[in-house]
Amino acid sequence: MKKSLIILATALAALVSCEEWEPVYTLDYDEPKAFEPVTLEQMNQMGRHITIAQLAARYTPGNGPIAITEDLFISGKVCSSDKAGNIYKSFYIQDETGGMEIKAGRSSLYSDYHEGQTIYVFLNGMTVGMYGYKSGNYGGNGMVQVGLEDPTGEYETSYIELPFFIDKYIYKGELGAPVAPTTLSESQLPSKNGTVASCKYLGELVHLDGLQYANNVFTLLYLNSNDNKKESSNRIFVADQTWGVKTWAMSKNLMGKYLESGLWDAIKIGNSGDQNYGTVGDHKDKKDLLGNLVNGKHYGDIERQAGTVSQTFKMGNTEVAIRTSGYGRFGDYKIPDDILDGSKTLSVTGILTLYQGDIQITVNSYEDFTYADGTPLPKETMTF
């Protein structure tokens, strides 16, 4: 009897399986189309070629964004990569006259725009603006970039994002070898009011040697990232010293660890000259900052953000900030003690930019950091 039941169950299972199985597709799929790079001759039929420096020269810092209404295009080789997560929704190209940020507005751009590939950007309908400009004696220039008009007016340009517009404005040319960085001396670095006209290396891949740690960190936090980020009562500046920050950046989890540690309890909330809102260590404010992601405890509905950090180094007498995203894959890596204590110096390869007149380097990957002798830095995650 038992044997008969087993046979019956097996037959029923086979019957059900036959009814549920879909036919197996046995034909060949179409082969993907071979990549056909756009050529300069094809682009010349669309408009007139100008250099990156000529495009950047059309923009005057402090005068606001400008709309391009002519059939023009720029070209250059890709010199950045977002593969490690340290560059967000943009990529940089450079020609013989300078570099430029292209605000494509998508992630994983490295898979579409390969390092060393020639890219053409059609400009009619696009907007040229600057990110990071600040007027006055304590400010300076930011970086000129190309994107679309920002309807909110919050920024001078917005991301392209939609595939229709990306295909309309960005054209992929031939593949090539990755761009070789230019090694710069201190005298070749830009001034705070530098432009591509005065420093062609802006927006380009460069290499700097002999960087000495300057014991100064900068990151901007918000009590509530969903509230007005320009309100003084919502802003906290971790700046003007190290505040115990020994990492290139901070993930959400590491941010919570720093907050819990008490290292930042004395930091005042607010902008310079308007810090009448308590300190990080105040009970309510600290709970708001911690959000609901620390050690499984629920502190409220505010979701804490990862921290982008600028670690300051000196090249001779010139300060250079190395800017690293908290969403990057290596943000929580600890800066080696022998770099922090000044016994060894750092070499770095990355994109050279300005932000409010400050010189910044943004690396493409963790391998862009080495000791002065070329030895790779260790990969050690920060722990408390």
CATH number of residue 117's parent domain: 2.40.50
| Domain shared by 215 and 294, yes or no | yes
| Domain shared by 241 and 344, yes or no | yes
Residue 291 has pLDDT above 80, yes or no: no
Indicate whether 257 belongs to any domain.
yes
Considering the entire predicted model, what is its pTM?
0.88
| Domain shared by 197 and 292, yes or no | yes
Domain coverage including residue 116: 40-179
CA triplet 354, 159, 321: central angle to 5 degrees?
20
| Of residues 92 and 4, more confidently modeled | 92
Section 17-39 average pLDDT: 62
| Domain shared by 235 and 142, yes or no | no
Instruction: Provide the H-helix boundaries in 105-247.
Output: 163-169
pLDDT at res. 32: 62
Range of weakest confidence among 143-147, 151-155, 242-246: 151-155
- What stretches of the chain adopt beta strand conformation (E)? 48-49, 66-67, 72-78, 91-95, 98-102, 118-122, 127-131, 143-147, 170-172, 182-183, 205-222, 235-238, 309-315, 318-324, 346-355, 358-362, 369-371
Burial state string for 258-271 with b = 16 or more CB within 10 A and e = fewer than 16: bbeeebbeebbbbb
Give 154's contacts (C-beta < 8 A, 6+ positions apart). Answer: none
Instruction: Provide the H-helix boundaries in the chain.
Output: 2-20, 40-44, 52-57, 163-169, 252-261, 283-290, 337-340
Which of 111, 144, 179 lies at the terminal end of a domain, its last residue?
Answer: 179
Section 102-109 average pLDDT: 96
Residue 20 has pLDDT above 80, yes or no: no
Range of weakest confidence among 94-103, 292-301, 358-367: 292-301
| Domain shared by 100 and 191, yes or no | no
Section 366-375 average pLDDT: 97
Indicate whether 240 belongs to any domain.
yes
| Domain shared by 218 and 145, yes or no | no
pLDDT at res. 328: 93
Q: What is the chain's length?
A: 384
| Domain shared by 228 and 307, yes or no | yes
pLDDT at res. 315: 98
Residue 293 has pLDDT above 80, yes or no: no
Indicate whether 205 belongs to any domain.
yes
